[in-house]
Amino acid sequence: MKVAIAMSGGIDSSVAAALLKEADNEIIGVTMQVMSPDNRDTGAGILAGRIADKLGIPHQVVDLRDIFSRRIIDDFCREYRRGRTPNPCVMCNKEIKFGVLWKRAREMGADYLATGHHARVEQDKISGRYLLKKGADKRKDQSYFLCRLDQEQLGHAVFPVGNTTKEEVRRIAGELGLDAADGRESQEICFIPDDDYAGFLESRIPGAAVPGPVLDSEGRIIGEHRGIIHYTIGQRKGLGIAAGEPMYVIAIDAERNAVVAGMKEQTYGTELVAGDLNWIAVSPPQAPVKVKAKIRYGHAEAEATVTPLDINDVQVKFTKPQAAITPGQTVVFYDGDTVLGGGTIIKQAR
Protein backbone atom coordinates (compact mmCIF):
# COMPACT_ATOMS: atom_id res chain seq x y z
CA MET A 1 0.00 0.00 0.00
CA LYS A 2 1.02 3.62 -0.50
CA VAL A 3 1.36 5.54 2.77
CA ALA A 4 2.06 9.20 3.38
CA ILE A 5 3.93 9.63 6.66
CA ALA A 6 3.69 13.00 8.43
CA MET A 7 7.30 13.69 9.43
CA SER A 8 8.07 16.35 12.04
CA GLY A 9 11.77 15.58 12.37
CA GLY A 10 10.97 13.97 15.72
CA ILE A 11 11.96 10.51 16.83
CA ASP A 12 8.45 8.98 16.78
CA SER A 13 7.54 9.97 13.22
CA SER A 14 11.05 9.07 12.00
CA VAL A 15 10.82 5.57 13.46
CA ALA A 16 7.24 5.29 12.15
CA ALA A 17 8.58 5.98 8.64
CA ALA A 18 11.32 3.37 9.09
CA LEU A 19 8.84 0.72 10.28
CA LEU A 20 6.55 1.40 7.33
CA LYS A 21 9.41 1.02 4.87
CA GLU A 22 10.59 -2.15 6.58
CA ALA A 23 7.09 -3.57 5.99
CA ASP A 24 7.55 -3.01 2.22
CA ASN A 25 5.08 -0.17 1.86
CA GLU A 26 5.47 2.60 -0.70
CA ILE A 27 6.24 5.66 1.42
CA ILE A 28 5.95 9.40 0.89
CA GLY A 29 7.35 11.68 3.58
CA VAL A 30 5.41 14.92 4.13
CA THR A 31 6.12 17.75 6.56
CA MET A 32 3.57 20.43 7.37
CA GLN A 33 4.76 24.03 7.31
CA VAL A 34 2.35 25.86 9.57
CA MET A 35 4.34 28.89 10.66
CA SER A 36 6.52 31.59 9.09
CA PRO A 37 9.98 30.69 7.71
CA ASP A 38 11.77 31.90 10.87
CA ASN A 39 9.76 29.51 13.06
CA ARG A 40 11.19 26.17 14.19
CA ASP A 41 8.97 24.15 11.84
CA THR A 42 11.33 25.18 9.02
CA GLY A 43 14.13 23.41 10.89
CA ALA A 44 11.81 20.45 11.36
CA GLY A 45 11.32 20.25 7.59
CA ILE A 46 15.06 20.25 7.01
CA LEU A 47 15.64 17.55 9.62
CA ALA A 48 12.74 15.46 8.30
CA GLY A 49 14.19 15.78 4.79
CA ARG A 50 17.55 14.46 5.99
CA ILE A 51 15.89 11.52 7.70
CA ALA A 52 13.85 10.78 4.56
CA ASP A 53 17.06 10.80 2.50
CA LYS A 54 18.66 8.38 4.95
CA LEU A 55 15.65 6.09 4.68
CA GLY A 56 15.59 6.41 0.90
CA ILE A 57 12.05 7.79 0.64
CA PRO A 58 10.77 10.89 -1.18
CA HIS A 59 9.91 13.89 0.98
CA GLN A 60 8.20 17.23 0.54
CA VAL A 61 7.15 20.16 2.67
CA VAL A 62 3.47 21.09 2.40
CA ASP A 63 2.68 24.76 2.99
CA LEU A 64 -0.38 24.94 5.25
CA ARG A 65 0.36 28.30 6.89
CA ASP A 66 -2.73 30.14 5.73
CA ILE A 67 -5.30 27.50 6.65
CA PHE A 68 -3.52 26.69 9.92
CA SER A 69 -3.64 30.35 10.90
CA ARG A 70 -7.34 30.65 10.05
CA ARG A 71 -8.58 27.40 11.55
CA ILE A 72 -6.26 26.83 14.50
CA ILE A 73 -4.51 30.01 15.62
CA ASP A 74 -7.49 32.33 15.12
CA ASP A 75 -9.73 29.92 17.04
CA PHE A 76 -7.12 29.66 19.81
CA CYS A 77 -7.09 33.46 20.18
CA ARG A 78 -10.89 33.72 20.13
CA GLU A 79 -11.19 31.12 22.88
CA TYR A 80 -8.72 32.89 25.14
CA ARG A 81 -10.56 36.17 24.64
CA ARG A 82 -13.70 34.38 25.86
CA GLY A 83 -11.89 33.36 29.05
CA ARG A 84 -11.53 29.73 27.93
CA THR A 85 -8.43 27.52 27.69
CA PRO A 86 -8.48 25.55 24.42
CA ASN A 87 -6.39 22.57 23.30
CA PRO A 88 -5.36 23.44 19.72
CA CYS A 89 -3.51 20.13 19.22
CA VAL A 90 -6.79 18.21 19.37
CA MET A 91 -8.36 20.44 16.72
CA CYS A 92 -5.21 20.44 14.57
CA ASN A 93 -5.28 16.65 14.30
CA LYS A 94 -8.92 16.78 13.17
CA GLU A 95 -8.83 19.81 10.86
CA ILE A 96 -5.25 20.02 9.61
CA LYS A 97 -3.28 16.79 9.92
CA PHE A 98 -6.07 14.29 9.20
CA GLY A 99 -8.08 16.91 7.34
CA VAL A 100 -6.15 19.12 4.93
CA LEU A 101 -2.91 17.11 4.93
CA TRP A 102 -4.80 13.85 4.38
CA LYS A 103 -6.55 15.46 1.40
CA ARG A 104 -3.16 16.46 -0.04
CA ALA A 105 -1.84 12.96 0.59
CA ARG A 106 -4.74 11.45 -1.37
CA GLU A 107 -3.91 13.78 -4.26
CA MET A 108 -0.40 12.28 -4.16
CA GLY A 109 -1.94 8.82 -4.53
CA ALA A 110 -1.66 7.77 -0.89
CA ASP A 111 -4.06 5.17 0.52
CA TYR A 112 -3.29 6.00 4.13
CA LEU A 113 -1.82 8.75 6.31
CA ALA A 114 0.56 7.69 9.06
CA THR A 115 1.83 9.68 12.04
CA GLY A 116 4.11 9.05 15.01
CA HIS A 117 1.30 9.12 17.55
CA HIS A 118 1.37 6.54 20.34
CA ALA A 119 -2.12 5.17 19.63
CA ARG A 120 -3.73 2.30 17.74
CA VAL A 121 -6.65 1.76 15.35
CA GLU A 122 -8.63 -1.48 15.20
CA GLN A 123 -11.81 -2.35 13.33
CA ASP A 124 -14.61 -3.96 15.30
CA LYS A 125 -15.55 -7.17 13.48
CA ILE A 126 -19.19 -6.98 14.53
CA SER A 127 -20.10 -3.30 14.10
CA GLY A 128 -17.51 -2.49 11.45
CA ARG A 129 -16.59 0.67 13.35
CA TYR A 130 -12.99 1.80 13.49
CA LEU A 131 -11.91 1.99 17.12
CA LEU A 132 -9.31 4.33 18.54
CA LYS A 133 -7.20 2.59 21.19
CA LYS A 134 -4.55 3.72 23.61
CA GLY A 135 -0.92 3.23 22.68
CA ALA A 136 0.91 0.24 24.14
CA ASP A 137 3.09 2.59 26.19
CA LYS A 138 0.51 3.98 28.62
CA ARG A 139 2.94 6.63 29.85
CA LYS A 140 3.18 8.08 26.33
CA ASP A 141 -0.34 7.32 25.13
CA GLN A 142 -1.62 10.09 22.80
CA SER A 143 -5.12 8.84 22.01
CA TYR A 144 -6.44 11.91 23.88
CA PHE A 145 -5.23 14.17 21.06
CA LEU A 146 -7.00 12.05 18.42
CA CYS A 147 -10.47 11.93 20.00
CA ARG A 148 -12.07 14.09 17.28
CA LEU A 149 -11.16 11.86 14.34
CA ASP A 150 -14.20 10.50 12.50
CA GLN A 151 -14.69 7.07 10.95
CA GLU A 152 -13.36 8.08 7.53
CA GLN A 153 -10.22 9.54 9.07
CA LEU A 154 -9.61 6.60 11.39
CA GLY A 155 -10.18 4.17 8.53
CA HIS A 156 -7.23 5.71 6.69
CA ALA A 157 -4.99 6.37 9.72
CA VAL A 158 -1.89 4.33 10.55
CA PHE A 159 0.07 4.64 13.80
CA PRO A 160 3.20 2.48 13.33
CA VAL A 161 4.68 3.11 16.80
CA GLY A 162 1.39 2.53 18.60
CA ASN A 163 2.37 -1.00 19.61
CA THR A 164 5.86 -0.05 20.83
CA THR A 165 7.17 1.61 23.97
CA LYS A 166 9.12 4.85 23.90
CA GLU A 167 12.23 2.93 24.94
CA GLU A 168 11.80 0.63 21.91
CA VAL A 169 11.38 3.67 19.65
CA ARG A 170 14.65 5.13 20.93
CA ARG A 171 16.39 1.78 20.47
CA ILE A 172 15.20 1.45 16.88
CA ALA A 173 16.27 5.02 16.11
CA GLY A 174 19.72 4.31 17.53
CA GLU A 175 20.12 1.09 15.57
CA LEU A 176 19.16 2.88 12.35
CA GLY A 177 21.33 5.91 13.09
CA LEU A 178 18.39 8.30 12.79
CA ASP A 179 19.41 11.77 13.95
CA ALA A 180 15.90 12.68 15.05
CA ALA A 181 14.84 15.24 17.64
CA ASP A 182 13.50 13.88 20.90
CA GLY A 183 12.88 17.00 22.94
CA ARG A 184 9.46 18.64 22.98
CA GLU A 185 6.43 16.67 24.04
CA SER A 186 3.12 16.70 22.19
CA GLN A 187 1.22 18.64 24.88
CA GLU A 188 3.34 21.74 24.22
CA ILE A 189 1.88 24.04 21.58
CA CYS A 190 4.02 24.20 18.45
CA PHE A 191 3.16 27.77 17.41
CA ILE A 192 3.94 29.47 20.74
CA PRO A 193 7.65 30.25 21.16
CA ASP A 194 9.00 29.39 24.63
CA ASP A 195 5.45 28.64 25.83
CA ASP A 196 4.83 32.38 26.28
CA TYR A 197 1.05 32.22 25.83
CA ALA A 198 0.34 35.77 26.96
CA GLY A 199 3.09 37.28 24.80
CA PHE A 200 1.81 35.37 21.77
CA LEU A 201 -1.79 36.41 22.36
CA GLU A 202 -0.84 40.06 22.86
CA SER A 203 1.05 39.99 19.55
CA ARG A 204 -2.01 38.57 17.76
CA ILE A 205 -4.71 40.53 19.60
CA PRO A 206 -3.75 44.14 20.30
CA GLY A 207 -5.23 45.27 23.61
CA ALA A 208 -5.97 41.72 24.72
CA ALA A 209 -4.30 42.16 28.12
CA VAL A 210 -6.68 44.70 29.66
CA PRO A 211 -6.40 44.87 33.48
CA GLY A 212 -9.55 44.21 35.49
CA PRO A 213 -10.82 43.18 38.90
CA VAL A 214 -9.97 40.06 40.83
CA LEU A 215 -13.10 39.01 42.72
CA ASP A 216 -13.67 36.61 45.56
CA SER A 217 -16.42 34.01 45.34
CA GLU A 218 -18.88 36.52 46.86
CA GLY A 219 -18.19 39.08 44.12
CA ARG A 220 -16.07 41.43 46.24
CA ILE A 221 -13.06 43.11 44.60
CA ILE A 222 -9.86 41.85 46.23
CA GLY A 223 -7.25 42.84 43.66
CA GLU A 224 -6.48 43.64 40.03
CA HIS A 225 -5.38 41.24 37.30
CA ARG A 226 -3.13 41.89 34.29
CA GLY A 227 -5.63 40.69 31.67
CA ILE A 228 -7.63 37.47 31.54
CA ILE A 229 -5.32 35.97 28.90
CA HIS A 230 -2.73 35.54 31.65
CA TYR A 231 -4.91 33.16 33.68
CA THR A 232 -6.46 29.71 33.63
CA ILE A 233 -8.54 27.69 36.09
CA GLY A 234 -6.51 26.31 38.99
CA GLN A 235 -3.67 28.83 38.56
CA ARG A 236 -2.02 30.07 41.75
CA LYS A 237 0.92 32.18 40.62
CA GLY A 238 0.52 35.73 39.36
CA LEU A 239 -2.59 36.74 41.26
CA GLY A 240 -0.71 39.17 43.48
CA ILE A 241 -3.26 38.95 46.30
CA ALA A 242 -2.29 39.30 49.95
CA ALA A 243 -4.37 36.73 51.79
CA GLY A 244 -4.06 34.50 54.82
CA GLU A 245 -3.67 31.43 52.61
CA PRO A 246 -2.89 30.80 48.94
CA MET A 247 -5.55 31.90 46.43
CA TYR A 248 -6.33 30.14 43.14
CA VAL A 249 -8.22 31.05 39.98
CA ILE A 250 -11.62 29.36 40.24
CA ALA A 251 -13.40 31.11 37.33
CA ILE A 252 -12.86 33.62 34.52
CA ASP A 253 -15.69 36.02 33.65
CA ALA A 254 -14.88 37.41 30.21
CA GLU A 255 -18.01 39.59 30.07
CA ARG A 256 -16.91 41.50 33.15
CA ASN A 257 -13.19 41.10 32.37
CA ALA A 258 -12.88 39.61 35.83
CA VAL A 259 -10.89 36.81 37.42
CA VAL A 260 -12.53 35.01 40.34
CA ALA A 261 -10.21 33.70 43.05
CA GLY A 262 -10.81 31.32 45.91
CA MET A 263 -9.28 28.70 48.17
CA LYS A 264 -7.77 25.48 46.85
CA GLU A 265 -10.84 23.42 47.68
CA GLN A 266 -12.88 25.75 45.44
CA THR A 267 -10.89 24.64 42.40
CA TYR A 268 -12.49 21.18 42.68
CA GLY A 269 -15.75 20.19 41.04
CA THR A 270 -17.78 17.02 40.54
CA GLU A 271 -19.70 17.92 37.37
CA LEU A 272 -19.22 19.47 33.97
CA VAL A 273 -21.22 20.02 30.81
CA ALA A 274 -19.55 19.12 27.50
CA GLY A 275 -20.61 19.85 23.94
CA ASP A 276 -19.33 19.61 20.35
CA LEU A 277 -19.13 15.85 20.88
CA ASN A 278 -17.53 13.20 18.70
CA TRP A 279 -18.48 9.58 19.43
CA ILE A 280 -16.11 6.97 17.98
CA ALA A 281 -16.74 3.54 19.46
CA VAL A 282 -20.45 3.98 20.12
CA SER A 283 -23.46 5.91 18.89
CA PRO A 284 -24.42 8.97 20.96
CA PRO A 285 -25.76 7.52 24.23
CA GLN A 286 -29.46 7.77 24.91
CA ALA A 287 -29.12 6.91 28.60
CA PRO A 288 -26.48 7.37 31.33
CA VAL A 289 -23.25 5.45 30.73
CA LYS A 290 -20.32 4.72 33.04
CA VAL A 291 -16.92 5.81 31.71
CA LYS A 292 -13.43 6.84 32.70
CA ALA A 293 -13.03 10.51 31.81
CA LYS A 294 -9.89 12.59 31.32
CA ILE A 295 -10.30 16.40 31.54
CA ARG A 296 -6.76 17.30 30.39
CA TYR A 297 -3.99 15.37 28.67
CA GLY A 298 -1.88 15.27 31.84
CA HIS A 299 -4.85 14.55 34.13
CA ALA A 300 -5.52 11.05 35.45
CA GLU A 301 -8.65 9.27 34.24
CA ALA A 302 -11.50 9.30 36.74
CA GLU A 303 -14.73 7.35 37.10
CA ALA A 304 -17.73 9.27 35.84
CA THR A 305 -21.27 8.96 34.51
CA VAL A 306 -22.12 10.60 31.18
CA THR A 307 -25.76 11.60 30.85
CA PRO A 308 -27.21 13.07 27.64
CA LEU A 309 -28.83 16.49 28.12
CA ASP A 310 -29.92 17.07 24.52
CA ILE A 311 -28.74 16.21 21.01
CA ASN A 312 -25.52 18.21 21.44
CA ASP A 313 -24.54 18.24 25.13
CA VAL A 314 -23.88 15.82 27.95
CA GLN A 315 -23.49 16.10 31.71
CA VAL A 316 -20.41 14.40 33.17
CA LYS A 317 -20.65 13.61 36.88
CA PHE A 318 -17.53 12.32 38.62
CA THR A 319 -17.45 9.87 41.50
CA LYS A 320 -14.76 11.99 43.17
CA PRO A 321 -14.12 15.77 42.85
CA GLN A 322 -11.72 16.77 40.08
CA ALA A 323 -9.24 19.65 40.18
CA ALA A 324 -9.40 22.54 37.74
CA ILE A 325 -12.23 21.57 35.39
CA THR A 326 -11.55 24.13 32.66
CA PRO A 327 -13.97 25.44 30.01
CA GLY A 328 -12.45 25.14 26.53
CA GLN A 329 -10.39 22.08 27.36
CA THR A 330 -11.14 18.66 25.87
CA VAL A 331 -12.74 15.88 27.89
CA VAL A 332 -12.21 12.34 26.58
CA PHE A 333 -14.22 9.25 27.55
CA TYR A 334 -12.64 5.79 27.82
CA ASP A 335 -13.74 2.22 28.31
CA GLY A 336 -10.50 0.45 29.18
CA ASP A 337 -8.11 1.02 26.26
CA THR A 338 -10.89 2.17 23.93
CA VAL A 339 -11.72 5.82 23.30
CA LEU A 340 -15.50 6.09 23.35
CA GLY A 341 -15.44 9.74 22.27
CA GLY A 342 -14.78 13.24 23.47
CA GLY A 343 -15.97 16.83 23.47
CA THR A 344 -15.29 20.35 24.67
CA ILE A 345 -15.91 21.38 28.26
CA ILE A 346 -18.54 24.14 28.25
CA LYS A 347 -18.81 24.75 31.97
CA GLN A 348 -18.22 23.15 35.33
CA ALA A 349 -20.52 22.74 38.29
CA ARG A 350 -19.46 22.29 41.86
Catalytic residues: 92, 190
Q: Are 227 and 210 in contact (CB under 8 A)?
A: yes
Q: Residue 116: count other Cβ atoms within 10 Å of its Cβ.
A: 25
Distance between CA atoms of residues 276 and 343, nearest Å? 5
Q: Are 249 and 204 in contact (CB under 8 A)?
A: no
What angle, rounded to 10 degrees, do the helices at 74-81 and 197-204 form?
100
Distance between CA atoms of residues 180 and 8, nearest Å? 9
Q: Residue 238: left if φ>0, alpha if ψ -120 to 50, beta else—which one? A: left
Q: Which runs of E-coded beta strand occur in the chain?
A: 2-6, 26-33, 59-63, 112-114, 119-123, 130-134, 157-158, 212-215, 221-225, 248-253, 258-262, 268-279, 289-294, 302-308, 314-323, 330-335, 338-349
Q: Are 235 and 249 in contact (CB under 8 A)?
A: yes
Q: Which of 177, 248, 185 is nearest to 217 (CA)?
A: 248
What is the arrangement of strands in the sheet containing 59-63, beginning at the earlier edge strand?
A: 59-63, 26-33, 2-6, 112-114, 157-158
Distance between CA atoms of residues 163 and 140, nearest Å? 11
Concatenating the DSSP letter of every residue in 314-348 gives EEEEEEEEEE---TTSEEEEEETTEEEEEEEEEEE
